[in-house]
Amino acid sequence: MQFTAEMIAGLLGGTIVGDKNATVSTVSSIDGGKAGSLAYLTNQKYEQYVYTTEASIVLVDTTFEPKAEVKATLIKVENVGACVLNLLEMYNATRPRKTGISQLASIHEGATLGENCYVGDFTVIEATAKIGDNVQLYPQCYVGDNVTIGEGTKIYPGVKIYEGTTVGKNCIIHAGVVLGADGFGFAPKEDGTFAKIPQLGNVIIEDNVEIGANSCIDRAKTDSTIIRSGVKLDNLIQIGHNVEVGANTVMSAQVGIAGTSKVGANCFVAGQVGVADHVTIGNRAKLGSKSGIDKNVGDDEIRFGYPALPGMQYHRSFAIFRQLPDMAQMVREMEKRLTKLEEQGE
């Protein structure tokens, strides 16, 4: 679908500088813009690309004044970032929606399927599963017994949802995700082997959750592993058994949360953070990349490093750490001088 500069300016309340009839059909970055695309300037360090981009339309701030000739049509708006989000949502809404039930899908007669659902090739839906209206199940998904999926949820290819799992409304589950596999529970025996501890609980995913590709959320030993409403998980994340993640918390790639830990609401957990078992993290906490969290973290606190330290303490420690090679050299020189002084004293 094509949009003119006049249409876009009308939607965003912007002002056109250039050709009001310029058309676009896709969105691109400012440094990679091609003819027929809309680009945007949200960071002034990329201003140079405004003058060289091949994009047909560029969104800029109302205060932007070009320092050289601009080939593209400009649309000046109050908040470029917010406007780009609105446009991306609008563009996404125009994309065709998958529909229909594949004849190659296997749907048990005891399963319940809502209206206007899409089920792709080789997807399996077991008995007693309940699928809400407008759910999309892409090819090769597995939906186990007694699974519930809320309306409007989109589940991409290869997702495996084990028995008893509940997925809420308007969730997005990306390819390769596994929901409800057994928690990592084993009891050591006297002969050095391990006895498997039965994992009898389930996984509950609340509404408006997005889970990135190849992430795993384990079922609880008893009760439930719970991902609260609005949580956004990146790719390659591991959530252990009986973990609870609070509402609107965001986690970047390769985070690992060990069993029975609790993460509060509105937290930011950066990439490769590891959280030990039975740890509680408070609301609105921020955990820096690669931090190792082995102790409780309070509300609004910041942690960096391994083992993790409070924000300012970590930065002070790191400032010293960077000087260690020079300090080591100074110590060696002082040792040599001390040795000479001792020899002279003798």
CATH for 53: 3.40.1390.10
Residues 37 and 166 in one domain: no
Domain end position, chosen among 76, 94, 112? 94
Residues 122 and 255 in one domain: yes
pLDDT at 180 over 90: yes
Are 84 and 90 in contact by the 8 Å Cβ rule? The answer is: no
Residues 120 and 75 in one domain: no
Into how many domains does the chain fold?
Answer: 3
What the block records as the tokens of 53 is 């981009």
Q: How far apart are CA 135 and CA 125, in angstroms?
A: 13
Lowest-confidence region among 196-210, 242-256, 325-339 = 325-339
Cβ burial 95-119 (10 Å sphere, 16+ → b, else e) = eeeeeeeeeebebeeebebeeebbb
Amino acid at 327: M
Cis bond leading into 66, ω under 30°? Answer: no
Q: How far apart are CA 227 and CA 205, in angstroms?
A: 5
Q: What is the mean pLDDT of residues 185-202?
A: 95
Are 75 and 56 in contact by the 8 Å Cβ rule? The answer is: no
The 10 Å Cβ neighbour count of residue 59 is 27
Q: Please indicate whether residue 108 is annotated as part of the active site.
A: no
Residues 279 and 327 in one domain: no
Residues 157 and 49 in one domain: no
Task: Name the band, by pLDDT with cuts 50, 70 and 90, for residue 346.
Answer: low
3-state class (DSSP) for residue 153: coil
Q: What is the pLDDT of residue 26?
A: 86
Q: How far apart are CA 42 and CA 40, in angstroms?
A: 6
Catalytic residue among 174, 241, 278, 315: 241
CATH number of the CATH domain containing 225: 2.160.10.10
Q: Higher model confidence: residue 27 or residue 108?
A: 108
pLDDT at 318 over 90: no
Residues 238 and 258 in one domain: yes
Domain end position, chosen among 94, 129, 155? 94
pLDDT for 138-167, tens place per residue?
999 999 999 999 999 999 999 999 999 999
Residues 114 and 82 in one domain: no
Domain end position, chosen among 94, 117, 142? 94
HSE (CB half, 13 Å, CA atoms) of 340?
A: 6
State percent of the chain over pLDDT 90: 77
Residues 130 and 10 in one domain: no
Mean pLDDT of the chain: 92
Count of positions (residues) in the chain? 346
Residues 166 and 301 in one domain: yes
Residues 81 and 151 in one domain: no
Q: What is the mean pLDDT of residues 79-93?
A: 85
pLDDT at 252 over 80: yes
The whole domain housing 325 covers 313-345
Q: How far apart are CA 260 and CA 262, in angstroms?
A: 7
- Closest by CA position to 243, among listed 208, 270, 267, 271: 267
Residues 320 and 247 in one domain: no
Residues 192 and 331 in one domain: no
pLDDT at 310 over 70: no
State percent of the chain over pLDDT 70: 96
HSE (CB half, 13 Å, CA atoms) of 329?
A: 3
Are 112 and 131 in contact by the 8 Å Cβ rule? The answer is: yes
Q: What is the pLDDT of residue 2?
A: 84
